[in-house]
Amino acid sequence: MITNFILAPILAHLITAVLLLFFWKRVKTQKVVSIIGNSIAFLLCVRLFMVTQQEGFLVLQAGGWQAPFGITFVSDTLSSIMVLLTAIVSLTVGIYSTASLNVSRIKYGYFFLFHFLIMGLLGAFLTGDIFNLYVWFEIVIISSFVLLTLGGKKMQMEAGIKYVTMNMLASIIFLTAIGILYGITGTLNMADLSLKIAQVENRGLVSVTALLFFAGFGIKSAVFPLYFWLPSSYHTPPSAIAAIFGGLLTKMGVYAMIRVFTLIFIPDEFIRNVFIGIAIMTMITGALGALNKRSVRRLISYLIVCHIGYLIGGLGIYTEIAIVGVVFYLIHDVIVKSNLLMISGIIQKIRETIDMTRLGGLAKDYPKLSFVIAIAMFSLIGIPPLSGFWPKIQFFGESLRTGEYILLGAFVIASFITLIVMARMWSEVFWKESPKPLTEEIDHFAQMPYSGKFALVAPIAALSLVSLYIGINAEGVYEIAQKTAYELMHPSLYIDAVLHNIFEK
């Protein structure tokens, strides 16, 4: 279906961001405007997801320029899933940040940047033009640069240098790849590229371009050996910002990778082996990195790296069922990682530290909150019937079936180490007696007004409920993932919808 509605969620965030500029330094108004804008955008995103589910592909040719000449926006099932996830995370983190951030950060434009970041993410998920994807990427990274360094502490500055350098380098590699791709095909529309790239005779050049794209997206999604900027920068910003970064920014790289490598460059044997090799190293290094960390936030940063390996590995197997696993895991991972990073913020609020050796006794002091947190942690490990369990079956089964035994071993080791790390975190933070005497002043959480407590706990509870829902309603999610995988493995559906306006359901 051709519809202008695709742009609605993007516009909602754009308008909210611009509105916020008028209330510069007025903290209360900013909070209210942000929550209202977020809620409207959330409803629009849900509607976009529903319409895409019913109607199949949604296409918009910007300015009425027919593809491949204009910029195309496409909402297929994968895009609409990512849009929905972005909406869920942005609404919950938006509410969470009203209570968790200090006033000066909000005064200097936190919410404004937040909405621009989300707008960029939504644009990146919905665009059907490779250069437009680059532009949305840039919108996202420049907002993230400012969010990361807002506050100007020494630690943030140091992390900022690494983050900014690596992301600028990634953008340049991406731009180089686009330049070469335009040179060999003469088009930028992804559907058109998919047709034209198959006719290129110089296959060597195509492989090189594909690997350039992989390197560019690899830096953004933090795969081995390009991940080191992530653990050294994600622990410095406040937890609300880290939740957006950890949940969505790295997944944007993975999304771009899935899109480019299922539609434009169909991976040959060599690229698949590169994927699998890198996935194994990513999982192992990420898991080993998480093992000796004492800070909760750093531990989660390494787990983010580790679990990116699952997604790349699934993409490397490249069968339809493996792609189902990738999509399912992506859905699960976005929710859980954002949730865990918000949880690290609430732990800091309660105990003034996130160093595991100095934490303890949370289960005794806050039994209900601990139960909600436990759901998120057990989802990450993949205890049935919680959400992390189901996609892992696909990964294990498919790597066994296709004979990728080393990959299977890496999946098992990474899952096992995730279990160890999470179990240790649970016993250190929640069960162990607190090593230092607790006084009233330490617990900033208990001193908060009721509305503040609600704004901190409700988002975590909501995301835990989503995890629970994904686990219990696994069949429904599996069906959507299956539909996505079918669309991804049959790029002709995408091409027909964009270039010939033929829409099959």
Partner 1 sequence: MELLLVLLVGVLYSAGIFLMLRRSMVKLLLGLLLIGNGANILIFLMGGLTKGRPPIIAEDQTNFTGPYADPVPLALILTAIVISFALTAFAIILLKKVYATTGSDDLDSLNIQDLDI
The footprint of partner 1 on this chain (CB under 8 A) covers a number of residues equal to 38
Q: Which residues contact 320 (CB under 8 A, 6 or more apart)?
A: 485, 486, 489
Greatest distance between any 2 Cα atoms in the chain: 72
Q: CB 157 → partner 1: shortest distance, Å?
A: 5
3-state secondary structure of 71: coil
Nearer to partner 1, 298 or 351 (CB): 298
Whose structure tokens read 């895991």? 329
* Alpha-carbon span 251 to 236, nearest angstrom: 20
Nearer to partner 1, 138 or 365 (CB): 138
Q: Which residues contact 3 (CB under 8 A, 6 or more apart)?
A: 51, 58, 59, 60
Whose structure tokens read 């950890």? 246
Q: Residues 162-181: x/- map of binding to partner 1 (CB under 8 A)?
A: x-xx--xx-xx--xx-xxx-
Which three-class secondary structure string do you get for 437-448? CCCCCCCHHHHC
Q: CB 230 → partner 1: shortest distance, Å?
A: 13
Q: CB 485 → partner 1: shortest distance, Å?
A: 32
Contact in structure between 249 and 220 (CB atoms under 8 Å): yes
Q: Residues 224-253: x/- map of binding to partner 1 (CB under 8 A)?
A: --------x---------------------
Q: Which of 138, 352, 365, 443 binds partner 1 (CB under 8 A)?
A: 138
Q: CB 21 → partner 1: shortest distance, Å?
A: 17
- Cα–Cα nearest to 273, from 318, 225, 213, 323: 318
Give the pair of three-digit tokens for residue 287.
């898991």
Q: How far is the CA of 486 from the CAs of 16, 159, 228, in angstroms? A: 36, 40, 34
Q: What pairs with residue 58 in β-bridges? A: 75
Q: Which residues contact 181 (CB under 8 A, 6 or more apart)?
A: 130, 193, 197, 209, 264
* Alpha-carbon span 493 to 505, nearest angstrom: 9
Q: Which residues contact 346 (CB under 8 A, 6 or more apart)?
A: 100, 239, 369, 445, 456, 457, 460
Q: CB 411 → partner 1: shortest distance, Å?
A: 26
Q: Which of 152, 403, 437, 449 binds partner 1 (CB under 8 A)?
A: 152
Nearer to partner 1, 169 or 448 (CB): 169
At 283, the amino acid letter reads M
3-state secondary structure of 276: helix
Q: CB 499 → partner 1: shortest distance, Å?
A: 18
Q: Which stretch binds partner 1 (CB under 8 A): 80-88, 97-105, 142-150, 432-440?
A: 142-150
Q: CB 22 → partner 1: shortest distance, Å?
A: 22
- Cα–Cα nearest to 316, from 404, 389, 234: 404
Does position 198 interact with partner 1 (CB under 8 A)? The reply is no
Q: CB 223 → partner 1: shortest distance, Å?
A: 20
Q: CB 11 → partner 1: shortest distance, Å?
A: 21
Q: Which residues contact 199 (CB under 8 A, 6 or more apart)?
A: none
Does position 161 interact with partner 1 (CB under 8 A)? The reply is yes
Give the pair of three-digit tokens for residue 41.
């955008």
Q: What is the CA radius of gyration of the chain?
A: 22
Q: Residues 427-456: x/- map of binding to partner 1 (CB under 8 A)?
A: ------------------------------
* Alpha-carbon span 11 to 5, nearest angstrom: 10
Q: Which of 22, 103, 158, 472 binds partner 1 (CB under 8 A)?
A: 158
Does position 353 interact with partner 1 (CB under 8 A)? The reply is no
Nearer to partner 1, 292 or 447 (CB): 292
Nearer to partner 1, 231 or 253 (CB): 231
Q: CB 138 → partner 1: shortest distance, Å?
A: 5
CB atoms within 10 A of CB 162: 14
Q: CB 359 → partner 1: shortest distance, Å?
A: 15
CB atoms within 10 A of CB 404: 22
Q: Which of 182, 454, 469, 486 binds partner 1 (CB under 8 A)?
A: 182
Nearer to partner 1, 129 or 333 (CB): 129
Q: Which stretch binds partner 1 (CB under 8 A): 133-141, 373-381, 450-458, 489-497?
A: 133-141
Contact in structure between 408 and 396 (CB atoms under 8 Å): yes
Q: Which of 54, 63, 64, 154 binds partner 1 (CB under 8 A)?
A: 154
Q: CB 217 → partner 1: shortest distance, Å?
A: 16
Q: Which of residues 261-300 bind partner 1 (CB under 8 A)?
A: 292-295, 298
Phi/psi at 74 (nearest 5 deg)? -130, 135
Binding residues (CB under 8 A) for partner 1: these are: 131, 135, 138, 141-142, 145-146, 149, 152, 154-155, 157-158, 160-162, 164-165, 168-169, 171-172, 175-176, 178-180, 182-184, 186, 188, 232, 292-295, 298
